[in-house]
Chains A and B, each alone.
Chain A
Amino acid sequence: MSGPLPARRPLRRLRPRLALSILGPDGVKSVHEAALEVLGRAGVRFPSARALGILADSGCAVDWERQVARIPPDLAMAAISRAPRRFTLGARDPEDNLDLDGEHCYLSTDGCGIQVYDLQTGSPRRSTGEDVYHSALVADYLDSIAFYWGPTVSAQDVPPAVRPLRELEAAFLGTSKHVQPETIISAQVAEWCVEMALAEVGSAAELRRRPIFSVMQCALDPLGQDGGSLEASLVAAAHGVPTGFMPMPMSCATAPATLAGNLVVATVDALAPLILIQLAHPGAPVFFAAAPTVMDLVTGGYTGGSPEDYLLGGAFNEVCRYYGLPLSMGAMATGAKLPDWQAALDNTLSAIMPVLTGTAMLTGAGLLNGSKIFSYQQLIMDCEIYSVAARVSEGIQVDAETLAVDLICRIGPGGNYLSDPHTLRHLRDIWRPRVIDRSPYDAWERSGRRGAFEAATDLARSILEQHRPRPVEAAVRREWDRILAAAARR
Chain B
Amino acid sequence: MERDKLFEEMYRVVYEGEIEQAAQVAGRGLAAGLDPLDCLNLGFMPALERVGEEFGKGEKFLPELVAAGEAMQRALAVVQPHLAAARRDRLTLGRVLLGTVEGDIHEIGKRIVGSLLIAAGFEVVDLGVDVSAATFLDRARELRPSIVGLSALLTTTMVRQKEVIDLFRQAGVRAQIIVGGAPVTASWAEEIGADGYAEDGGSAVALARKLAGGTGS
Contacts and interface: CB of A to CB of B under 8 A. Distances in A.
Interface of A: 114, 154, 156, 160, 163, 220, 226, 250, 252-254, 257, 295, 297-300, 370, 372
A299 B109 CA distance: 9
A163 B58 CA distance: 42
B105 A220 contact: yes
A299 B200 contact: yes
Nearest to B64: A297
A295 B155 contact: no
B200 A156 contact: no
Contacts of A160: 155-156, 159
Given A114-B182, A252-B63, A300 B108 contact: yes
Nearest to A250: B108
Given A114-B182, A226-B105, A372-B182, A298 B156 contact: no
B62 A300 contact: yes
Contacts of B105: 220, 226
Given A226-B105, A253-B108, A372-B182, A114 B155 contact: yes
Contacts of B112: 300
Contacts of A370: 182
12 contacts: A114-B182, A114-B183, A160-B156, A160-B159, A163-B156, A252-B62, A253-B108, A295-B62, A298-B62, A299-B200, A299-B201, A300-B112
Given A114-B183, A252-B63, 20 more contacts: A154-B155, A156-B155, A160-B156, A160-B159, A163-B156, A220-B105, A226-B105, A250-B108, A253-B108, A257-B63, A295-B108, A297-B61, A297-B62, A298-B58, A298-B62, A300-B108, A300-B112, A300-B201, A372-B182, A372-B183
A156 to B, nearest CB: 5
Interface in B47-71: 58, 61-63
Interface string B74-109: 000000000000000000000000000000010011
Interface residues of B, number: 15
Contacts of A299: 62, 200-201
B58 A300 contact: no
Dominant SS among interface residues on chain A: loop
Contacts of A220: 105
A297 B63 CA distance: 7
Nearest to A299: B200
Contacts of B183: 114, 372
A154 B156 CA distance: 9
A295 B108 CA distance: 10
A252 B67 CA distance: 12
Contacts of B182: 114, 370, 372
A226 B104 CA distance: 10
Nearest to A154: B155
Interface in B105-139: 105, 108-109, 112
A182 to B, nearest CB: 11
A254 B111 CA distance: 12
B83 to A, nearest CB: 32
A300 B156 CA distance: 23
Nearest to B185: A126
Residue in A257, A300, A370 with the greatest tally of chain B CB atoms within 10 Å: A300
A336 to B, nearest CB: 16
Closest 5 CB pairs of A and B: A297-B61, A300-B112, A160-B156, A154-B155, A114-B183
User: B62, B63, B159: which has the most chain A beta carbons within 10 Å?
Assistant: B62
Contacts of B109: 300
Contacts of A254: 108
B184 to A, nearest CB: 10
A299 B61 CA distance: 9
A246 B156 CA distance: 20
Contacts of B155: 114, 154, 156, 160
A299 B182 CA distance: 13
A439 B108 CA distance: 47
Q: Which of A226, A298, A370 neighbours the largest number of chain B CB atoms within 10 Å of its CB?
A: A298
Contacts of A300: 62, 108-109, 112, 201
Nearest to A218: B105
Contacts of B159: 160
B200 to A, nearest CB: 6
Interface string B166-188: 00000000000000001100000
Interface in B154-168: 155-156, 159
Nearest to A253: B108
Nearest to A228: B103
A114 B188 CA distance: 13
Contacts of B156: 154, 160, 163
A251 B112 CA distance: 15
A48 B42 CA distance: 49
A108 B58 CA distance: 37
A334 B58 CA distance: 23
Nearest to B155: A154
A228 to B, nearest CB: 9
A297 B200 CA distance: 14
Nearest to B160: A160
A300 B63 CA distance: 9
